[in-house]
Amino acid sequence: MNEKIACRTKLRLIQGGLHSKISFGPVRIIAAPENIPPFELNARAYEEDTWLVMSADPKGCEPEVHPIRLMTELMETKPEPVGSVIVKGGNPLRFLAIVHDVNRDPTWKEEWIQSALEGVFREVEQRKIRAIGLPLLGTLHGRLETRRFLALLGRVLKQKTFNHLKRLWLIVPAKTNSEIIEMLEAELNQS
């Protein structure tokens, strides 16, 4: 019983708006669509596959190296492990969450998504990130249900201690922010 009360005290509703914000411990969680960033980011996560194709620029560009060298590099390229997170430079930093293997059907598994979420938050704390944007991994290019993603996210958040993260932007489809925050709040309140 005391554990339930302790868990509930970590979570509190921030009044006002459309109930698209909650706090969990020191972290303010805000659900908003892609085109309405609620704050400036230090990092942003992206749903990615083992070959890093999903985040590639679709426009393409002329290679800056000789074609033979480019072909050699391509032949030596190895896939990234599923469930891992690759950090790329930039401002904000790009966290590539490897949750898809296009050689499998389905291309994703819940354990890969949970592992990637753990990796994202591990990187956040190691790099002292204060604000990150996170899409609903597995729901963009996979068929993971939103409720299942939120259950995985809730499980990972409850296991973590945050010393640096202050703001988490859940990047959600338009007009779903209130519903998603309510579902996440329910997940976080479960023991």
In this structure, are strands 131-135 and 167-171 parallel, antiparallel, or unpaired? Answer: parallel
What's the confidence (pLDDT) of residue 16?
A: 43
What's the confidence (pLDDT) of residue 4?
A: 47
Count up the domains in the chain and report the number: 1
4 located within any domain: no
Question: Do the beta carbons of residue 10 and residue 25 sit within 8 Å?
Answer: yes
- Show the beta-strand stretches assigned E in 50-178: 85-88, 93-100, 131-135, 167-171
CATH number at residue 34: 3.40.220.10
Residue 185 pLDDT > 80: yes
71 located within any domain: yes
Number of H helices, E strands in the chain: 5, 8
Residue 178 pLDDT > 80: yes
Confidence of residue 66 (pLDDT cuts 50, 70, 90): confident
The whole-angstrom separation of Cα 169 and Cα 22 is 11
Phi and psi at residue 139, to the nearest 5°: -100, -15
pLDDT for 156-165, tens place per residue? 999 999 999 9
pLDDT for 86-99, tens place per residue? 999 999 999 999 99
What's the confidence (pLDDT) of residue 113?
A: 98
pLDDT mean over 33-37 = 94
86 located within any domain: yes
3 located within any domain: no
Confidence of residue 17 (pLDDT cuts 50, 70, 90): very low
Cα 154 to the center of its chain, rounded Å: 12
Confidence of residue 35 (pLDDT cuts 50, 70, 90): very high
10 located within any domain: no
Mean pLDDT, the chain, rounded, equals 88
Residue 19 pLDDT > 50: no
CA distances (Å), origin 182, targets 14, 19, 67, 160, 179: 12, 8, 52, 21, 5
Among 25-34, 67-76, 127-136, the range scoring the smallest mean pLDDT is 67-76
The CA-to-CA distance between both ends of the chain, in Å, stands at: 10
1 located within any domain: no
44 located within any domain: yes
Q: Residue 73 belongs to what domain range?
A: 18-189
33 located within any domain: yes
